[in-house]
Amino acid sequence: MDDISLTGLESGKTTVSAETVEALRAQLRGSLLVEKDASYDEARTIWNAMIDRKPGLIVRCAGASDVIIAVRFARDNRLLVAVRGGGHNIAGSAVCDGGMMIDLSPMKSVRVDAAAKRAWVEPGATLADLDKETQAFGLVVPTGINSTTGIAGLTLGGGFGWTTRKFGLTIDNLVSADVVTADGELVRASLTENPDLFWALRGGGGNFGVVTAFEFQLHDLGPQVLSGLVVHPFTDAEAVLKGYREALETAPDELTCWAVMRQAPPLPFLPVEWHGKEVLVLAMCYCGDIQAGEKATARLRGIGNPIADVVGPNPFAGWQQAFDPLLTPGARNYWKSHDLTKLSDATVEILLKAVRELPGPECEIFLGHVGGAAGRIGVEATAFPQRSSHFVMNVHARWREPEMDQSCIGWARNLFEAIKPHAAGTAYINFMPEDEVDRIEAAYGSNYQRLVATKQRYDPLNLFRMNQNVNPGVKRRAA
């Protein structure tokens, strides 16, 4: 093969000889891909179809040793680096142009110790991989709501979903992590080992190294939970949202209910005349006894005159996959998000106006109900700062045709700006698109300077910058 011109860490180009590349290939237990390889395009393709980048090298890691080798190679050759877990990140930071992509997706091992209630998870595992193993023992790790999401990115950004109010964020259940730091060393991070790194990993994103293994605390849940959807006509949305808001004030930690506003997909339980019409959906899950769940959900299910109510006992692993058909790869996606401490009348009015102006049939707004156990952790206990938020609002623009880019992105941005005066100011970094670089410091609030100090210690050259980046703020040598 010929010498390869690669993107350097400081955006310039650097040439790596063919001999050097072949020497790298020989060291790996996994594989090394370049553009001419048959599986290259598949390896560089990620969930958000708006991202079309071509790394110069893709290292498909089989284990921690491959990660160490790849990080040292990138460091020594001063290459731009992207790290891929599940490839779901909305900003597309899993893949870079011209540099090295460290692909963790082959590393999918999940090991459960049911007696100790612990799970050890490799970074390429998806939420479905994790649920399949833990639910075999009636156990869970609190994670997100789309089963094809990678555990690594979800965890490093915080991680919230149906079980958060009962068991906390994903990071609140992280016991330890094995991390390859920017100097190519494998270290363990926990409350007692490298505690500053452990603090930063819990919400600080991929800024501080490549995690090769996560150790999680497990909780009893399942295999059946009370869960499902209650679908309302959009004409009733204002009254339903206000009833929803009031019902949540007394909701137990076991109960989580999210509100979704969009055009109705062709769900089999909806009358065909509602397909494609605007609806408001209350999606709920009770993490506890089924009969107790029937009582706890009664007030929410009693709101208004729904089109359909399909709340009932379901396998938890199945409920975790319920929204997968609406979040398949291959579509163009752009998100804008706010944390909300309350759902004010003014916020409701703005949201309803935006739904009346949906630019496409797959665009939606959802309100994720959080708080509970996650809200009782101190702001400074982890890097994740938004513990007082009661809701996470995500404006999810999703479409297929490039000619719709302007209208869909514009719709999301306009709604984001309209809600800003009513928002908390922080943000969930996993929902932040690549054009929100100027928002990162505010997203971390009072924890930002501590993150900078930790970054300066573990990655002063900012090798790991393809993320919602915490810049170490130190002058770097020219490439």
Residue 447 within a domain:
no
220 — pLDDT class (breaks 50, 70, 90): very high
Residue 82, SS3 per DSSP: strand
- Which residue type sits at 52? D
Same domain, 159 and 46: no
Mark whether 263 and 365 lie in a shared domain: yes
CB crowding 187-214: b at 16 or more within 10 Å, else e:
eebeeeebeebbbbbbbbbbbbbbbbbb
Last residue in a domain, options 220, 250, 276? 220
Domain count, the chain: 3
pLDDT at 389: 78
Q: Is residue 449 part of a domain?
A: no
Long-range contacts of 420-426, Cβ-Cβ distance < 8 Å, separation of 24 or more: 420/338, 422/340, 422/344, 422/346, 422/347, 422/350, 423/338, 423/339, 423/340, 423/393, 424/338, 424/339, 424/340, 424/341, 424/386, 424/388, 424/389, 425/339, 426/339, 426/385, 426/386, 426/389
331 token code pair? 């579509």
Residue 220 CA, chain-centre distance (Å), reads: 23
pLDDT in tens, 132-156: 999 999 999 999 999 999 999 999 9
439 has a pLDDT exceeding 50: yes
pLDDT average, residue stretch 62-74: 98
* Radius of gyration (C-alpha) of the chain in whole angstroms: 22
Domain membership flag for residue 334 = yes
Please report the pLDDT score of residue 475 as a whole number.
41
Q: What is the mean pLDDT of residues 413-420?
A: 98
- Provide the pLDDT confidence category of residue 479 given band limits of 50, 70 and 90: very low
Same domain, 89 and 150: no
Do 273 and 150 share a structural domain? no
Cα–Cα distance measured from residue 212 to residue 214, given in angstroms and rounded to the nearest whole number: 7
Mean pLDDT of 399-410: 98
| Domain identity same for 243 and 272 | yes
CA dihedral 324, 329, 334, 338 (to 10 degrees): 30
CA 419 to chain centre: 22
- Tokens 């799970």 belong to 119
262 alpha-carbon distance from chain centroid: 21
Residue 477 clears pLDDT 60, i.e. is over it: no
Q: How far apart are CA 145 and CA 469, in angstroms?
A: 25
Return the CATH number at 335.
3.40.462.20
Residues 38 and 179 in one domain: no
The confidence score (pLDDT) of residue 388 equals 86
- pLDDT tens figures, 448-473: 999 999 999 999 999 999 999 999 98
Position 474 pLDDT exceeds 50: no
Tell me whether residue 478 is in a domain. Answer: no
The enclosing H or E element of 75 equals: helix 64-76
Residue 454 lies in a domain: no
In this prediction the pTM is: 0.96
Distance from C-alpha of 106 to C-alpha of 67, rounded to nearest angstrom: 12
* Tens of pLDDT, residues 159-170: 999 999 999 999
Number of H helices, E strands in the chain: 14, 21
**194 shares a domain with 116:** yes
The length of the chain in residues reads 479
Using pLDDT thresholds of 50, 70 and 90, give the confidence band for residue 10. Answer: confident
Residues 389 and 260 in one domain: yes
- What is the rounded average pLDDT for all residues in the chain? 96
- Residue finishing a domain among 220, 250, 267: 220
Query: Interior CA angle at 215 toward 167 and 180, to 5°?
Result: 130
The domain that contains 159 carries what CATH number? 3.30.465.10
If asked whether residues 304 and 278 sit together in one domain, one would say yes
Of 169, 201, 220, the residue that ends a domain is 220
Q: At what angle do helices 237-248 and 345-355 cross, to 10 degrees?
A: 140
- Give me 79's structure tokens: 């290459």
The pLDDT value given to residue 260: 98
Q: Residue 236 domain-assigned?
A: yes
Q: In this structure, are 62 and 140 located in the same domain?
A: no
For the residues 343-352, what does the mean pLDDT come to?
98
pLDDT digits (tens, 9 = 90+) for 108-124: 999 999 999 999 999 99
d(CA 119, CA 444): 28
- pLDDT confidence band for 61 (50 / 70 / 90): very high
Looking at the domain assignment, is residue 433 inside a domain? yes
Residue 281 bridge partners (DSSP): 231, 260
Instruction: Note whether residue 456 is domain-resident.
Output: no
CA-wise closest residue to 205 among 475, 474, 437: 437
Q: What percent of the chain has a predicted confidence (pLDDT) above 90?
A: 96
* Cα-to-chain-centroid distance, residue 8: 28
Beta strands per DSSP E along 242-329: 255-263, 278-286, 308-309, 312-315
Domain check: are 156 and 41 in the same one?
A: no
As given in the structure block, the two tokens for residue 6 are: 């690669």
* CATH at 28: 3.30.43.10
Q: What's 265's DSSP letter? A: P
Share of the chain above pLDDT 70, in %: 99
Range of the domain at 398: 224-437
pLDDT for 106:
98
Q: Which residue from 459, 479, 471 is spatially nearest to 185, judged by alpha carbons?
A: 459
> Is pLDDT at 11 greater than 80 in this prediction?
no
pLDDT, one tens digit per residue, over 294-313 is 999 999 999 999 999 999 99
User: Which tokens in the block code for residue 388?
Assistant: 């007082």
Could you give the CA distance from residue 241 to residue 118 in angstroms, rounded to a whole number? 38
Asked if pLDDT for residue 476 goes beyond 50, the answer is no
CB 429 within 8 A of CB 383: no
> Do 300 and 312 have their domain in common?
yes
